[in-house]
Amino acid sequence: MESRLQPISRADRIIVALDFDCQDDALRLVERLSPATFFKVGPRLLAASSWGIVNALAEMGKKIFLDLKLHDIPTTVGATVTNLGRYPVTALSVHACTGSETLKSAVRSARSLPSPIQIWAVTLLTSLSDSAFVDELMINGSPGDYVEHLAVLSRYCGADGVVAPATETSRIKEVCGNEFVVVVPGIRPSGTRRDDQSRLATPAEAIRAGADFLVVGRAITASHDPVAAFLRIVDEMSSAG
C-alpha cells in the first residue's frame, strides 16, 4: 500500500496550521515559508476559501493534513472519507470518541482509496483544561488515562495514529508501539504566549516525548517573521537530540 507519508528531517515534522480567514493570506504564508513541507487545513480556512486551497497546496508540492475532526455515525464518516479521496491529502482527523465502529469505517474507506489517506484520531483537545475535563465533560479517570485508552482503541481499529498532548506521548508510544504516529498540537516555543491552549509543550519537550509531528499555528503564523519563527522551532527540536 502506497503511503503519502514519509517523515524525514526535523522541518518535515512540523505541520504548520493554516488558521487563516482568507485563501490569499494562507497561500502568501506558504510561499514565504519555503522550508515547510507539511500544512494543516481545517474548517476555518475551508469556510473562508474553497477546496481549491487543497489542490493549490498539492501543486506547490506540499503535504496536507486535513483537520476536519470528523465526529459522526459510521456510515456518514465512511462515505465522507471516500469522497475526500478525490483530494491529494496525506492525513485526515476523526474524533476517537466516536467509538470503534466509526473509526473502523473511516479506516476501511481510507484504505480503499487508490491513494490511501492516513487516519489520525483526535484523543483530547489541547485547549481542554483538567477542570473542564472533569466538570464539563464529566469523564471519570484522569485525562492521561483517557488519552491512552482512546489511543489503544484507535490503534485496535486500524488508525495510523493519534493527535494527542505531548504529556501523554511517551505512554502512547509504550502501549501502541513506535510505528503508531503521534501528532502533537499545543506547541509553544520558549517565551511565546499560551493563548487558548492548556496542554502545552515546547518543541524540544514534544520531540523528547517521542512526537512524530508537531502542529504549530500561531507561534509561526502570528509571528512578524514566520520564517525565523519556523527555523527557531527546528533549532529547538534539534536541541532535544
Q: Within positions 184 to 213, which residues make up the interface with ligand C5P, using CB under 6 A? A: 185-187, 195, 197
Give the residue, chosen from 122, 150, 157, 207, that forms a contact with ligand C5P under the rule CB under 6 A. 122
SS3 letters across the chain:
CCCCCCCCCCHHHEEEECCCCCHHHHHHHHHHCCCCCEEEECHHHHHHCCCHHHHHHHHCCCEEEEEEEECCCHHHHHHHHHHHCCCCCCEEEEEHHHCHHHHHHHHHHHHHCCCCCEEEEECCCCCCCHHHHHHHCCCCCCHHHHHHHHHHHHHHCCCCEEECCHHHHHHHHHHHCCCCEEEECCECCCCCCCCCCCCCECHHHHHHHCCCEEEECHHHHCCCCHHHHHHHHHHHHHCCC
Place of cell 481542554: 128
| Closer CB to ligand C5P, 207 or 219, in the complex | 219
Regarding 102 and contact with ligand C5P (CB under 6 A), the answer is no
Closest distance of CB 19 from ligand C5P, Å: 5
Contact call for residue 105 and ligand C5P (CB under 6 A): no
Min dist CB 184 to ligand C5P, Å, is: 9
Q: Is 69 a catalytic residue?
A: yes
Interface with ligand C5P, residue 17, by CB under 6 A:
yes
Catalytic residue among 40, 69, 104, 173: 69
Per CB under 6 A, 66 contacts ligand C5P: no
Q: Quote the crossing angle between the two packed helices 100-112 and 143-156, to the nearest 10°.
A: 40
Q: Which of 11, 12, 19, 223 binds ligand C5P (CB under 6 A)?
A: 19
- Identified binder of ligand C5P from the candidate list 217, 232, 233, 236, rule CB under 6 A: 217
Q: How far is residue 177's CA from residue 213's CA, in Å, rounded to a whole number?
A: 16
Which of 53, 216, 233, 237 forms a contact with ligand C5P (CB under 6 A)? Answer: 216
Work out which of 5, 85, 218, 231 binds ligand C5P, going by CB under 6 A.
Answer: 218
How far apart, in whole angstroms, are the C-alpha atoms of residue 132 and residue 168? 18
Question: 494562507: which residue's cell?
Answer: 26
Q: Measured from the CB of residue 71, what is the shortest distance to ligand C5P in angstroms?
A: 12
Q: Does 126 bind ligand C5P (CB under 6 A)?
A: yes
- Binding ligand C5P (rule: CB under 6 A), the pick from 125, 153, 182, 211 is 125
Catalytic residue ranges: 69
Residues forming the site for ligand C5P (CB under 6 A)? 17, 19, 42, 67, 122, 125-126, 163, 185-187, 195, 197, 215-219
